[in-house]
A and B are shown apart, each in its own frame.
Chain A
Amino acid sequence: MRGLGFIKTAIGGIAAYELLKLMKAGSKQVLRPPGASDEDEFLALCTRCGKCNQACPYKSINMGTSNMGLGLGTPFINERDSPCWLCEDFPCVQACPTTALSGIEKRTDVEMGIAVIDEDVCIAYQGLRCEVCYRECPFTDEAIKINYSIRPGDSPGEVSHHAIFAPVIDEEHCVGCGICVHRCPVDDPKVPIKVDPRKTGGLL
């Protein structure tokens, strides 16, 4: 009966392989802590130990639950609740036993993602002077700049003419820490700024 046991295991193994492959394809992209490698590589390297979670002094790093599919137990950041505050010494990266989080020496090395502004919802684009994201950004005037313009339709010289102080993201400098998202005063109908998690390539 030895052969039968092997066949059973093989069938079970193949079934598990197909199921897991499906789950992997369905895993959605989330904001990872600083220094996370490419998503496939990250999922392979992360041993789900939770040390980064414990090392974070701001409790910004959460551990994935089953709704993250194969990302179960992996660290992620909910930037609206608590963003990455970009510690000088990056304790999360230092705590990582594998190189799932690695390669960060200074703040500008971080590439968690890039902030994106929804211009239809952002009040600055509607003519209110806000600038919260611009001032809260750790890279003010680098990652977020203010684009001054006169409101469309208004012309200089008229009494009612109005300036627009529109925040603009510089993709070169934005590290994706999410502090802007955390600080944004608008949440109705939605938060007008979000972080698009880092671009990913394939490992295999």
Chain B
Amino acid sequence: MKKWMISRKSVQFFIIILFLSPIFLVDVPGTNFFYGSLSSSELFGIQLSDPLGALAVTFASKQIVWGFIGSAFIVFIFYLIISGRVFCSWVCPVNTLLELTDSLRKRFKKLPDVQFKLNTKIHLAVLVLILSFAIGIPIFELISPIGNTLRNLLFVWGIGVFIILAIILFDFFVSRRGWCRYFCPVGGFYSSIGGAGQLRVKIDQEKCTSCMQCKKECFSHPSILDPAINGEKSFVVSGDCSLCGACIDACNHEALSIGLRPYKERSKQIQIPNEVKGEEM
């Protein structure tokens, strides 16, 4: 049963409906209970903004707008507590689109899957901030496929279509889920805070048979599951995990679950000699 898949699809659908609701519900979209885009929106009078966008604007304008920073802070804290990249798999409309691409891709066997470094997206997020500072324009807001998807749906049909098309083609022909896994700066930002999230994918070592079914389905990158499957960790540590739940749905042995991060590693954990890297929390 694909329990997580179903709930996630429902949330994704709800998010798209929420963003499009101002068009259907009222004459003047700004009078709706919710309006705006993923850069900044307003829900029952509460402002919510994209943290990376807010940082970029702050760097670009060299001034601090407290109301704006505050609205981004709410979102930042929310994802910091649950897990950064929850945004990617549960909210982001581009991912919703790219998931369709991926399911289409599965029908073709021989497509190449070029690998890049997972950290590239974090580097790009930093680069975006540096460039925004140097040029004085929050540049990612211009080209962001996320911003452009909503811009095209809500406001004006434009260049965004080509950006999204380019990403879809890249994901389809070059690298499986390439944009989300390696390049999206927003994902990079969220992945950098993802490790601190309190919700984690946990593994029950006794039930795990190392069949690797979960790795086939992983949205982020199969390699992030390795430490858990090898028994080094009792949960998925990587900040790249987006808690999409695909691995849990794929597991036939009920070895995986999403739950609160365990702070005490269980004692029967196999001790690796020269255990230095195990300290990262």
Contact = CB atoms under 8 A, between A and B. Distances in A.
Highest count of chain B CB atoms <10 Å: which of A5, A48, A99, A204: A48
Contacts of B42: 51, 95
Nearest to B140: A48
Interface stretch (B61-69, B92-100, B215-223): B61-69
B92 to A, nearest CB: 16
6 contacts: A5-B117, A20-B139, A50-B39, A50-B150, A63-B156, A97-B49
Contacts of A46: 57, 138
A91 B32 CA distance: 13
A26 interface: no
Given A48-B151, A54-B32, A97-B49, 15 more contacts: A13-B131, A47-B49, A48-B141, A49-B37, A49-B49, A51-B37, A51-B40, A53-B155, A54-B30, A55-B29, A55-B30, A62-B156, A72-B158, A95-B30, A98-B65
Interface string A1-30: 000010001001100110011001000000
A44 interface: yes
A175 interface: no
Nearest to A40: B136
Interface string B51-75: 0011011001111010110010000
A44 B49 contact: no
Interface of A: 5, 9, 12-13, 16-17, 20-21, 24, 40-41, 43-51, 53-57, 62-66, 70, 72-73, 91, 95, 97-99, 203-204
B188 interface: no
A202 B135 CA distance: 13
Contacts of B137: 20, 24, 43-44, 70
B158 A66 contact: yes
Contacts of B37: 49-51
B135 A24 contact: yes
